[in-house]
Amino acid sequence: QVSVGVMTSGGDSPGMNSAIRAVVRETLRRNYRCYLIREGYAGLISGKIDEANWSSVANITHIGGSFIGTSRCDEFRTYDGRKKAAKQMYERQMFNLVVIGGDGSLTGAQKLKEDWMKIGEELFAEGNIKLDVANKGRELRLVGIVGSIDNDCIETDKSIGSDSALHRICESIDGLVMTAQSHQRIFVIEVMGRHCGYLALTSGIAVEADFVFYPEMSLEENWADKLCQQLETVRKLGKRHNIIIIGEGCKNAKGEKFDAKLVKSEIENRMTAEVRTVSLGHLQRGGTPTFLDRLLGLRMGYNAVKELLRVDKDGKPFTGSQNNASVICLRGHTIKQQSLDKVLRKVEQANDEIKHGNVEK
Ligand code: F6P
C-alpha cells in the first residue's frame, strides 16, 4: 500500500489548507493511504500523525492558517531529530512526503532526504521490530510546495499566501488613509516579508504610497532629506496625507535595524507634521485566503501528488533527473516542477546577493 504524508512547516499562510485538501483527496482518489502530520516537523518527530479520510479535509478551503498545525522546529535541524522523524515514517511505511512551507522548511526536507538512506541502514541494524525488511533500502520521495506570505522563493512566481497577505495589507492601509486624510497626517507602516521586499513594494504600488523602504535597497546617506522633499512635493500638489511603507528586514548603511520609529523621528526633525506609526504584524498572515490562494493551493497540492506518484512507462515509480525531490512552482499561469536542489541553490544565491547588496533594482 502506497502512503503519502502531508505536513505544513514554518510560518502558516492562507491557502495552505487548500493544498492539504488537494493532497489528501488526490491520494485517496488513487486508493492510496494519506497521513496528516500535525504540528510540522515537531509532530513528525513525536508521531503526531493521523490517517486521513475523505471528510478530514471537508470545509477547509475558506479557512486561513494550517488546520493541521505548523511549527518552527529546532530538533529537526539535528541528525538525531531527523532520525526520529524517519523512524516514524518507516514504521508507517510512509515513503512519500509533501512538505508545505518556506525555504527553511524545504531545506529541512532536503536534509532528511540526504540522510534518509544512512538513517534507514541504522534503523534496520538496530533491529526495530516494527520495520518491515521488505522496505530496507527504500527511497524517500519528496515534493515541496512553497507556502509563505513572503513570496521570497525565486523559482515560483507566487507562493501560497502572499496574495492574501497583500489583500490584507491593502485593506488595512486603505483604512489608515481615511483617518490620515482627515487629520492630514503621515503614517509610517511596517509590513512583513523577512529579507524580501515583495510585500512592501507591491502593496506600496497598490495603495499609492509616497515612499517604500525595502530590504534589498541600499539606503543613501541623505535618505531622510530625500524622503521629506518627496513628502513636501506631494503635499504642495494637494495631497492631504502620506503613506510610507517599511519592509521588515530593512537595515541602514551600517547594517543597523531600520524601523518605523526611526523614520518617524527623522521626519519630525525636518518637518512640522503629525506622524503616526503602525506595525501590521501577524494580521497580515491570518484571515481568510483569497480566491487566488485557494486555487493556487489546490493546484499545487494536486500536482504534488501527481509528481510524487509519477510512474515510468513500465508502471514503476519514476526516477528521473529530479532525484526524487522536487518543488511545485508557478511560472506565469502554468504549474511546473523544479528539482529541490536547484530551487534551494537559487534561493541561497538570491539571499547572498541581497546580503552583499548586488541586487538588480
Ligand atoms: O515567513 C513568514 C513570516 O511571517 C515573515 O514575514 C516574518 O518575518 C516571520 O514569518 C514571523 O515569524 P513568527 O510568526 O515566528 O514571528
Cα of 54 vs centre of ligand 1, distance in Å, is 32
Contact predicate 347/339, CB 8 Å: no
- Sequence length of the chain is 361
- Position 317 pLDDT exceeds 80: no
Burial class, 351, CB count within 10 angstroms (exposed 0-12 / middle 13-18 / buried 19+):
middle
Mean pLDDT of 257-283: 96
Task: Kindly report, residue by residue over 162-220, the tens digit of the pLDDT.
Answer: 999 999 999 999 999 999 999 999 999 999 999 999 999 999 999 999 999 999 998 88
Quote the pLDDT of residue 231. Answer: 97
* pLDDT band at residue 321 under the 50/70/90 scheme: very low
**Grid coordinates belonging to 352:** 547572498
What is the average pLDDT value for the chain, to the nearest integer? 94
Whether residue 360 has pLDDT greater than 60: no
Q: Closest ligand 1 atom, CA of 199?
A: 6
Residue 1: count other Cβ atoms within 10 Å of its Cβ. Answer: 6
> What is the reported pLDDT for 212?
97
Active site residues: 150
Atom of ligand 1 nearest to the CA of 249: 8
pLDDT value for 262: 95
Three-state DSSP string of 264-305: HHHHHHHCCCCEEEEECHHHHCCCCCCHHHHHHHHHHHHHHH
Dihedral of the CA atoms 200, 162, 103, 64 (nearest 10)? 130
Whether 193 lines ligand 1, by a CB cut-off of 6 Å, is yes
Q: Which ligand 1 atom sits closest to the C-alpha of 152? A: 1
pLDDT at 361 over 50: no
**Residue located nearest, by CA, to atom 12 of ligand 1:** 11
Place of cell 483604512: 175
What region, left, alpha or beta, does residue 255 occupy, with left being phi > 0 and alpha being psi -120 to 50 degrees? Answer: left
Taking only the tens place, the pLDDT of each residue in 24-75 is 999 999 999 999 999 999 999 999 999 999 999 999 999 999 999 999 999 9
6-20, 327-341, 345-359: least confidently modelled range: 345-359
Instruction: Evaluate whether 253 touches 219 at the Cβ level (below 8 Å).
Output: yes
Amino acid letter, residue 10: G
Using the predicted structure, report yes or no on whether residue 324 has a pLDDT greater than 90: no
For residues 257-262, give the mean pLDDT. Answer: 92
For ligand 1, the distance from its centroid to the CA atom of residue 55, given in whole angstroms, is 31
Mean pLDDT of 3-26: 98
Instruction: Please check whether residue 148 is in contact with residue 99, taking contact to mean a CB–CB distance below 8 angstroms.
Output: no
CA of 13 to the centre of ligand 1 (A): 10
- Stretch 301-314: mean pLDDT: 91
More confident residue, 312 or 166: 166
SS3 readout for 180-235: HHHHCCEEEEEECCCCCCHHHHHHHHHCCCCEEECCCCCCCCCHHHHHHHHHHHHH
- Cβ atoms of 147 and 160 within 8 Å: the answer is yes
Which of 71-75, 255-259, 290-294 has the weakest average pLDDT?
255-259
pLDDT of 194 reads 94
Sign of dihedral through CA atoms 168, 173, 174, 178?
positive
Question: What pLDDT sits at residue 197?
Answer: 96
Minimal-distance CA residue to ligand 1 atom 3: 11
| Per-residue model confidence as pLDDT tens digits over 125-163 | 998 778 888 888 899 999 999 999 999 999 999 999 999
Axis-axis angle for helices 198-206, 162-183 (nearest 10): 50
Return the C-alpha cell found at 35.
497521513
Counting residues of the chain whose pLDDT is more than 70, the rounded percentage is 96
Alpha helical stretches, state H, the chain: 16-29, 40-46, 79-91, 103-125, 162-183, 198-206, 223-236, 260-270, 291-308, 340-355
For 33-47, 177-191, 259-273, 303-317, which range has the lowest pLDDT when averaged over its residues?
Answer: 303-317
- Is the pLDDT assigned to residue 316 strictly greater than 80? no
CB 102 near ligand 1, within 6 Å? yes
